[in-house]
């Protein structure tokens, strides 16, 4: 019989279908393929029995194993927390300075703060502490600090937030004086400041915030004007805008807004009281977005990012 010669396509009946000269024969698929098909169906049935699979109105079938992704996640998380527990307990009893001085604890704080930084800080300060250019957010990966880069100051910055202020000068400076100050700031950052520029800087009161050497005053959070690190932009027109409208000046609707929120107001109250050797007085509505331990870990992380002071 022709149908018995399955290896010769010329002697096997076809279905009558043909595409580009290729005939569809009536040969059955190989036995191994058929067996694999039946086995895969059996595996699907076993899966349906063992695992959650069929959706119901308000839930789904549970499966004999009772497995869920959430359950597996919680079990894995518990294992991670068991490993971290001794470190977290030790961190809670240490100051940020002590953590920084302890190599093992410092490495743990830095390693465990990467996700913490990404979730809470990277949106403004960028991944790795480098924000978008001219965004107005300080770079944390260098060693230039508005308020100081020692570990305790960083803790205070995180806990209390920062809300520095530069007054707007649009109504107090003449156009030619603004031009002179813009040129002075540009020359100063290039090491070419003139005597006339220094005179204008001092006479118009800029020295009061930026200091006699124009390197800024940490207590005020004023910028260092002698380097090439710009919080907003070193473009002359952007410098002019900052001089005219200031930063966080409530009297000028065009002022630049640059505010860092407080991440633990309760800790900030405590730190301020300790500075004056007083008992903290809480009002009861202090926010605590991050725990004290998280604040300390982030402070160490930021300190290490920029080679803190």
Contact 50, 63 (CB under 8 A): yes
Distance CA(158)–CA(257), nearest Å, equals 18
Does residue 126 have a pLDDT over 50? yes
What are the pLDDT digits (tens) for 139-181? 999 889 999 999 999 999 999 999 999 999 999 999 999 999 9
- Half-sphere exposure (CA, 13 Å, Cβ side) for 138? 23
**218 annotated ligand-binding residue:** no
Distance CA(295)–CA(156), nearest Å, equals 9
Residue 54: which pLDDT band, with cuts at 50, 70 and 90?
Answer: confident
CA distance to 30, 57, 111, 168, 295, per residue, from 254 (Å): 78, 55, 41, 9, 33
Distance CA(84)–CA(155), nearest Å, equals 22
Share of the chain above pLDDT 70, in %: 96
Per-residue pLDDT averaged across 200-224, rounded? 95
Does residue 241 have a pLDDT over 80? yes
pLDDT at residue 87, rounded to an integer: 95
**169 annotated ligand-binding residue:** no
Could you tell me the pTM of the whole model?
A: 0.79
Distance CA(293)–CA(82), nearest Å, equals 17
CATH number of 175-245: 1.10.760.10
Share of the chain above pLDDT 90, in %: 81
Distance CA(120)–CA(129), nearest Å, equals 12
The neighbour count for residue 260, using CB atoms within 10 Å, is: 20
Per-residue pLDDT averaged across 247-266, rounded? 96
Q: Which two tokens stand for residue 49?
A: 């029995």
Per-residue pLDDT averaged across 22-40, rounded? 89
Does residue 1 have a pLDDT over 60? no
Distance CA(193)–CA(165), nearest Å, equals 25
Distance CA(80)–CA(57), nearest Å, equals 35
Does residue 5 have a pLDDT over 70? no
Domain ranges of the chain: 2-50, 74-162+261-305, 175-245
pLDDT at residue 4, rounded to an integer: 56
Residue 6: which pLDDT band, with cuts at 50, 70 and 90?
Answer: low
**210 annotated ligand-binding residue:** yes
Closest CA to 163 of 248, 240, 100: 248
Q: Which two tokens stand for residue 177?
A: 């004086």
74-162+261-305 and 175-245 share one CATH topology? Answer: yes
What are the pLDDT digits (tens) for 60-115? 888 999 899 999 999 999 999 999 999 999 999 999 999 999 999 999 999 999 99
Q: Which two tokens stand for residue 262?
A: 């407080």
Does residue 293 have a pLDDT over 80? yes
Residue 33: which pLDDT band, with cuts at 50, 70 and 90?
Answer: very high
**165 annotated ligand-binding residue:** no
User: Domain spanning 74-162+261-305: which superfamily?
Assistant: Cytochrome c-like domain (1.10.760.10)
What are the pLDDT digits (tens) for 184-196? 999 999 999 999 9
**206 annotated ligand-binding residue:** yes
Does residue 2 have a pLDDT over 60? no
Distance CA(63)–CA(290), nearest Å, equals 39
């Amino acid at each position: 019989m022709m149908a018995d010669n399955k290896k010769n396509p010329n002697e096997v009946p076809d279905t009558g279908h043909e595409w580009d000269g290729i005939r569809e024969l009536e040969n059955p698929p190989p036995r191994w393929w058929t067996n694999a098909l039946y086995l895969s169906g059996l595996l699907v049935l076993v899966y349906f029995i063992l695992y959650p699979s069929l959706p119901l109105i308000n839930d789904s079938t549970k499966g004999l194993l009772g497995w869920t992704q959430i359950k597996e996640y919680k079990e894995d998380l518990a294992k991670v927390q068991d490993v971290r527990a001794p470190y977290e307990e030790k961190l809670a009893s240490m100051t940020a300075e002590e953590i920084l001085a302890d190599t093992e604890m410092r490495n743990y704080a830095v390693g465990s703060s990467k996700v913490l930084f990404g979730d809470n800080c990277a949106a403004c300060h960028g991944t790795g502490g480098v924000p978008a250019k001219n965004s107005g957010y300080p770079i944390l990966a260098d060693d230039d600090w508005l308020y100081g880069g020692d570990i305790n100051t960083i803790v205070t910055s995180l806990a209390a937030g920062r809300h520095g202020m530069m007054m707007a000068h649009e109504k107090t400076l003449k156009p030619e004086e603004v031009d002179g100050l813009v040129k002075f700031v540009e020359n100063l950052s290039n090491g070419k400041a003139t005597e006339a520029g220094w005179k204008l800087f001092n006479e118009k009161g800029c020295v009061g915030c930026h200091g006699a050497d124009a390197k800024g005053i940490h207590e005020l959070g004023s910028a260092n004007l002698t380097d090439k690190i710009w919080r907003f932009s070193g473009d002359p027109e952007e410098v002019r805008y900052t001089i005219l409208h200031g930063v966080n000046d409530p009297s000028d609707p065009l002022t630049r807004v640059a505010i860092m929120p407080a991440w633990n107001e309760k800790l900030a109250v405590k730190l301020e009281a300790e500075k004056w050797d007083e008992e903290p007085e809480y009002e009861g509505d202090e926010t605590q977005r991050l725990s004290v331990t998280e604040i300390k870990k982030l402070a160490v992380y930021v300190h290490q990012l920029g080679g803190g002071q």
